[in-house]
Amino acid sequence: MAALQIEKEIVSHLRFPSHEVLDTIEAKKSRNKILNRASVLGNIDRTKMHIVFKDSEGLKRVHTTVWGVTDKYVILKGANLIPLHRIVKVY
């Protein structure tokens, strides 16, 4: 199933279920490591990343700069937030 490409401004209008999308501890650690690196690259070089995530309707993808990562959210430009537990892949 392909992810639907959306603009970052749409993220604030989406609904996110509360369950985790990744199954293993290793996958979660890898996701956190990649997101933290994406945050550094975003703040230093304004590097944009593709973030694939699941909202209540299915897979979505956004191409944007990661401004920050907390223990619960990924912060995008414009203060748009994606719950960390809903992120499937970052590249």
Q: What is 4-90's CATH topology?
A: SH3 type barrels. (2.30.30)
Indicate the pLDDT class of residue 74, thresholds 50, 70 and 90. very high
pLDDT at 77: 84
**How many angstroms separate the Cα of 73 from the Cα of each of 1, 2, 7, 78?**
24, 23, 18, 14
Q: What is the pLDDT of residue 78?
A: 83
